[in-house]
Chains A and B, each alone.
Chain A
């Protein structure tokens, strides 16, 4: 019985042509007849073939390395001795590594650097853009920058000059830097307006419907509720007379019909609407939301209800919402007056007690009201 190893010896002899002719012919016949034996021969050939090829691969690989080493050696000698007049560039291992790294990665690093630079600038510009976009966009405070009126004024001045030529000299109208609206709080010369109207003011002028002007000064300001109390300091001032409206101390109801009179332009302007919400911008409970169309210059104007009660003071409007204006609640005004009266060195604020507007029609109410609403002109 032949073992597999015996067969391999046999195959070896057969493939190297060391068998006698009869034995070889016998084997070839058996190979043709016996597929198992043929398979065994094929396996033997695969294994020895692969081994031979593997051996060759290793030897040739060694040869190629030797050739390469020889070439490298030649190049080194030409570099060092071939040109004696040329200085040999010697670089440290680190520098060589750096050079190779730079050579291999410069494109990537360039792209990375430009992306970083772009990102930085995009962020800076984006932030700036965002902040300029965001800040003024929400609530606009409604004091009027008088320059806006310049064009209109020039026109009227031209007309006025013609008139002046006819009727004689009248002083040209005084222009402040900003203007808003104010209204009488007591009959002895105290007024209310919005804090932001007189913010940063050097001097304040009050001008009524009859074009009479009085100097005034802020007595007290409440920036949180956007309220300021002014006092007229002019000697010529003799008092407002009886005020027709009263200050409501309780909260007004939703849906109440309300109106305002103010100076968004040179003349008094009436506007009405209703009370939309009992909180202001971003839920601020110091304010009402009202649906009166208001414009720069309306700030500080009185908001009255149907019965002629003062319920608020116009403060601002929200830019990104349709017709949402805000007014400080009159209850805060009343509380402010109370706290001032209680303060040391007090002055008695005689708030009007009797309402003369109740039960009257709107035009009648407005007619009585209009003498107590003033332009507040501010000089910086």
Chain B
């Protein structure tokens, strides 16, 4: 670390991430990675598993920050540790190798991570449903909507790619696709009620 990069306080990091500053995200990512790698490798995990867990944990944090719903009552480090700890416990339970205890070296209680993780799980479920709805949508609707919403392409770009005569046509097509997507999405949503 170091490498001449400026050191941020927690407040600066939060502000940077909220405004979509990739350097703040990268800085934070580097700063707390070793703690989580330590946690996972000390508790029968590999370094690759640790990186997976950490990315998942950072994602929870990032999305809460971007939504503006994060209520941080402790240091970012503690929060990330608590989230990743919980995620790793879950992973161990899935692998059937959880001995009921982790070797802890950081505090992890009272961080609000549990509630945030429940939100994140619900969000994951919705994304999974959305991904499946997109898969069922069929072409060209799928690539049109994916291009616009997931890959962040402009309507002009999509008009050219899909060979529409003008942007308005493409736009109308997009709305029709959205209606179909909505139906697919909500039928599944209702088929799979909340657990």
Contacts and interface: CB of A to CB of B under 8 A. Distances in A.
Contact of A43 (B51, B131, B186): B186
A50 B126 contact: yes
A137 to B, nearest CB: 45
Given A64-B58, A68-B55, A9 B130 contact: no
Contacts of B145: 51
Interface residues of B, number: 39
A8 interface: yes
Contact of B149 (A5, A51, A67, A104): A51
Contact of A54 (B58, B131, B175): B131
Nearest to A108: B97
Given A56-B66, A64-B59, A51 B175 contact: no
Contacts of B166: none
Given A47-B185, A48-B178, A53-B123, A64 B150 contact: no
B175 A57 contact: no
Contacts of B172: 5, 9
A44 interface: yes
Contacts of A124: none
Interface stretch (B25-33, B71-79, B81-89, B157-165): B25-33
B130 A50 contact: yes
B147 to A, nearest CB: 10
B45 interface: yes
B31 to A, nearest CB: 11
Contacts of B175: 5-6, 8-9, 12
A55 B152 contact: yes
Interface string A93-104: 000000010011
Contacts of A53: 63, 123, 127
A52 interface: yes
Contacts of A60: 25, 59, 62-63
Contact of B30 (A6, A8, A67, A105): A67
A8 B179 contact: yes
A9 B174 CA distance: 9
A108 B96 CA distance: 12
9 closest residue pairs by CB, A with B? A51-B149, A5-B175, A55-B150, A8-B175, A5-B176, A4-B179, A64-B55, A47-B182, A104-B44
Given A5-B175, A50-B127, 19 more contacts: A5-B179, A6-B175, A8-B175, A9-B172, A50-B130, A51-B130, A51-B145, A51-B181, A53-B123, A54-B127, A57-B59, A59-B152, A60-B59, A64-B58, A64-B59, A67-B26, A70-B26, A103-B44, A104-B45
